[in-house]
Chains A and B, each alone.
Chain A
Amino acid sequence: MAGVPVPLERVINELVKLPGIGEKTATRLAFHLTRADRNDVEGLANSLLSMREELYTCSVCCALAGADPCELCCDPRRSDEIVCVVEEAADLAAVERSGGFQGRYHVLQGTLSPLDGIGPDDLRITELVRRLGSGTVRELIIATNPTAEGEATALYVANLTKPLGVTVSRIAHGLPMGGDVEYADLATLGKALEGRREM
């Protein structure tokens, strides 16, 4: 890269590998780091290294965690009978923020995505089935995203786990709280009508 010293260029080349970071942003971030306090830069570098060393995939729920098994899997106040299946660790965090769920989790680490060549072997489905084999789990709540891929994954997991004697439910879809029927799209309104409840 013309006019950019090699050490800086190295940083830019590494940053540009991150999702959503183009060359311009990478250059801006790299220049920012040259002006930053040495302790801050060391803190960033060390935290990146320790993240790789201290982060585990929980052998029970397959979420990223600081210990194995993770904090949520070890919590004795949580029910072992209900498991919420989510796509990614970020979804687990979102459900957890709602405060409305006191069971366990299972992170699939993705969804079936044929356009990317991702199939069931690439997801943590075997681990889920193995987990259900213990007989403790009575209900599975599938909380994958309401996208075509999320729906297909939900159906795949449901078909695989129902024969194991587990009740399988799907999180509700439809209008968001504070939403407006007039502005709802076809798919959302269709789902909302389909999933209506008696009052």
Chain B
Amino acid sequence: MPTSHSSEAVVLRWRSYGESDKIVTFLTRDFGKITGIGKGAKNSRRRFPNSLESMARVRVHFRQKAEASLAFLESCELLSASTTPMDPERLAYGAYLTELAEQFTVEWSPAEETFSLLDEALQVLERSPATASFLRAYELKLLQYAGFGSPLERCVQCGNDLNENEICYFGTMTATFQCQQCGVGNDTHTPIAATLLAMLRGLRLMPLTQCQEQPLTNVRDEAARLTGQMLSLHLIRPLRSLRTIDQLTRSQ
């Protein structure tokens, strides 16, 4: 007997299936990531009114048979809708956040913190453009919620506090930080400015809404490279949205 469920969710992606169906992946507040089939979803204005678009905030009602891999989507309603069209760049960054959330969550494994993070990030993005500090904060928080957060306060080797006045070392193979004494001379470790590490530490703790305004100034590119390396160790496949972001930034 299939069990009926209902949860707040963000639509991560969808694809057409046959003439009128859609296969949709959601990140739900209560059940983690779920993928389901919406029968007649392309035509049904009553059961799925504009609610199966990527990045939409919805409440999804679905049934799940124990042995089935796909949930059966009963209906889905929009929880909020913006009348302001998203500009291309914000859409691309929204897709980036969504793609990351999809890769760092597992089907049917509750991830409420990640859901709240994505939900909040998409709302911030609706109000203002994505800044470098906002993106880095999102990446760091996501890594932490997914269980891949590197300690930014202590050396993983000796356990001593990382001194804010000294250079520390980042292990490119492990995405961990070491103090100057432990990291120096290690081929797989690159030196990191102490200011950058302090900045990342601050961003990871700060509420996402406040991160938008944080200036990264001279460490902007280095911060992006660092979090990019941390993420790449855990990505299952390359992020497609980066290609679009690249094209949009080049065309400006």
Interface residues of A (CB under 8 A from B): 19-20, 112-122, 147-149, 151-156, 183-188, 190-191, 194
Contact = CB atoms under 8 A, between A and B. Distances in A.
Given A119-B246, A187-B81, A148 B53 contact: yes
A187 B13 CA distance: 19
Contacts of B19: 20
B251 interface: yes
Contacts of A154: 85
10 contacts: A114-B95, A115-B13, A117-B244, A119-B248, A120-B251, A121-B247, A121-B251, A154-B85, A183-B45, A187-B78
Contacts of B85: 148, 151-152, 154-155
B194 to A, nearest CB: 35
A188 B87 contact: no
A191 B83 contact: yes
Given A152-B87, A190-B81, 8 more contacts: A112-B91, A115-B13, A115-B99, A117-B242, A121-B251, A151-B86, A186-B50, A188-B50
A149 B241 CA distance: 13
Q: Which 6 residue pairs spanning A and B have beta carbons closest together? A: A119-B247, A117-B240, A114-B95, A185-B49, A151-B85, A187-B81
A114 B88 CA distance: 9
Interface residues of B, number: 40
A194 B53 contact: no
B54 interface: yes
Nearest to A195: B83
B142 interface: no
Interface of A is mostly: helix
A116 B243 CA distance: 9
A119 to B, nearest CB: 3
B240 to A, nearest CB: 3
Contacts of A185: 45, 49-51, 77-78, 81
Contacts of B94: 114
Interface in B76-109: 77-78, 80-81, 83, 85-88, 90-92, 94-96, 98-99
A155 B88 contact: yes
A112 to B, nearest CB: 5
A115 B54 contact: yes
B78 A117 contact: no
A148 B91 contact: yes
B49 A114 contact: no
Interface of B: 13, 16-19, 45-46, 49-51, 53-55, 77-78, 80-81, 83, 85-88, 90-92, 94-96, 98-99, 240-248, 251
Given A151-B85, A155-B88, A118 B50 contact: no
Contacts of A156: 87-88
B242 to A, nearest CB: 8
Contacts of B13: 115
A85 B80 CA distance: 29
Nearest to A153: B88
A186 B79 CA distance: 8
B69 to A, nearest CB: 15
B231 to A, nearest CB: 17
Given A117-B244, A120-B248, A153-B88, A147 B53 contact: yes
Contact of A148 (B46, B54, B99, B251): B54
Contacts of A117: 240-244
A115 B251 contact: no
